[in-house]
Structure 1
Amino acid sequence: MEQPVVSDQGPARGLVLIVEDERAIADVQRLYLSRAGFGVHVETTGEAGLDRVRDLRPVAVVLDVGLPGIDGIEVCRRLRARNDWTPIIFVSARDEEVDLLLGLELGADDYLTKPFSPRELVTRIKTVLRRSTGPQYARILRVGAVTLDPEHRTISVDGSAVELTAKEFDVLAFLMASPGRVFSREQLLSSVWGQASYTGGRTVDVHIAQLRSKLGDRNPIRTLRGVGYSAVERP
């Protein structure tokens, strides 16, 4: 079986998962998304795509309808059935209206018919992400004594400002946006660094340690041993 393409190192916009069994098409999509600042991971089957959505928590999925085995329609159906609303852009060689309606009724966010411009794909993904993440990044986040302002990129603990690096800020913002939810190292690498790497866990640990040091005893980061990290309000 053909091996999946490992992601590019480009975290600025998060990681996009491409599920496409035509290698040449996937390579072009990967190239343009990487240039646009996305990390990219490619899988060639629906089964593998389902696993990677769970493991990597991509910011969006580019999903081919005509996959072998479990097709794209079924992948989308299963994701929505487990209440996973990761943005999905369907791509298909078929342009019949019934396909379009079926895809969108299942909960897909957009639809492109092959052949399409890779620049158009990038534009569609950016548009979908603006719709799905805009409100989250506009609101002030508060967990316990820590207040985070995503728009102005400021942090305070009990009202006192704290200086963080850009990546430390991004890690903390990601955790605080879903308080109480535990994220694995792989999920943090995917969402914050835009990498689908299973060897970068030490990078996450180092940033968490730096955050704890800078935020002090009032820091909201909790470790669930063997699972990952979350942001919780301390008693």
Structure 2
Amino acid sequence: MCLIAFAWHSHPRWRLLLAGNRDEFHARPSTALARWDDAPITGGRDLEAGGTWLGVTESGRCCVVTNVRDPRDPQLGVSRGLLATDYLTGSAGASAHAQELLRSAASYRPFNLLTFDARDAFYLGNRPESRAQAVTPGVHGLSNADFNTPWPKTRALMQHLQHWVDMGDDANFAPLFAALADEQVAPDEQLPDTGIGLERERRLSAAFIRGEAYGTRASTVVAIGHDGRGMIVERRFGPNGSFEGETMLRFADSSPT
């Protein structure tokens, strides 16, 4: 994923409400949202490395990963997509997993990771150093920088999500998908300087990126209730933002909460 906003324990129905966009080269092969045959995961699948950028389980666990934008980093190490599958197929809760991952986080390509279970949520990253922090209740955002870094598109999506929470809605996700589809480019004075040049900073400042070779491949909303029941909705896009389909899957917690 490249843009995420989520509400953690701040909605009467949903313990987690997450909205995010996956931006990627269109030529990189992946599968659509589905229940995996070989693992207890529901999510899309990167066919190049075998992992996922966002996934959930029937027990109400969720994990999402982004890269870190730094053209000076050699991007060496274990695929960050495996971080999500390892958490979702493992038995450790978010807290225990965070402490365990800290020991090997430096061996992965630059990443930001969010993990959620029935009780806890954690942010983990490995640039510039490995670190982990518990997520507090409220609305948070993440892109290709540190947790809650106020990039314009991250801040805007957080505001949309906060408004959705404040309105008391619980099932109409159309406003969230509309926010994820926003192609507004941020003013130059608000752009971060991540070393990729002004023209690319402008292009990547929109929530939804439309391009022939690179752009937004999927917009996803995850909603997990306090009872563990939930749903995940994915809208997929091809080159130049062409709509390729939508999938909605429900899941139910099979363990006591």
TM over 0.5: no
Of structures 1 and 2, the one with the larger relative CO (CA 8 A, separation 6+) is: 2
Which structure is higher in strand share?
A: 2
TM normalised by structure 2 equals 0.30
Rg larger for: 1
**Greater fraction of residues in helix:** 1
TM-score normalized with structure 1 length = 0.32
